[in-house]
Amino acid sequence: MNPTRNDLSSATRGKVTELLQARLVDAIDLKLRIKNSHWNVKGPSFIALHELFDKVAADVEGYADDLAERAVQLGATAEGHAAVVAKTSSLPAASRKLVSESDFVTEVADNLAAFGKTVRAAIEEAGEFGDADSADLFTGISRGVDKWVWFVESHLNGKR
């Protein structure tokens, strides 16, 4: 940990920055997966999905930036390079057989939901560690992810 004047204990900062780092790599992985869908989706709803996926990816990139910056504020070094992301992301394995618009929408919705689940768990953990600010950051991210799950799922016509 790098020195900081932040008054959270070193132990708290260490635990919270582990949470932040874990969600950072997930957010970077999620953004790349969504961009992959943005580039490759085809079909009658192409433009709507292309634009939707781009907006979602932009927000997820913002979440990653916020997570990294919070970790650095607490004295950690944010690790966001490809090797770390590939090795430590907790998102489920990416599907290799995406063909239809529905395949892409399902994949994006599933990945957003998986990320949302880990972020909600991080809210509780950060609170237990005594870092209300990081819990608040995770809460804001969770709220945004839930919105995007809703937007993306709407393209599945009620199918789960």
Domains and CATH numbers, the chain: 10-156 (1.20.1260.10)
Q: Per-residue confidence of the chain (160 residues) as pLDDT tens digits?
A: 888 898 889 999 999 999 999 999 999 999 999 999 999 999 999 999 999 999 999 999 999 999 999 999 999 999 999 999 999 999 998 877 889 999 999 999 999 999 999 999 999 999 999 999 999 999 999 999 999 999 999 999 766 6
Supply 87's token pair: 């090795």
**pTM score of the predicted model:** 0.95
CA–CA distance from 129 to each of 17, 68, 73, 100, 123 (Å)? 11, 18, 16, 44, 10
Query: Do 20 and 67 form a contact (C-beta atoms < 8 A)?
Result: yes
Cα–Cα nearest to 88, from 128, 28, 36: 28
Whole-angstrom distance, CA of residue 152 vs CA of residue 50: 11
Query: Do 21 and 79 form a contact (C-beta atoms < 8 A)?
Result: yes
Whole-angstrom distance, CA of residue 64 vs CA of residue 129: 21
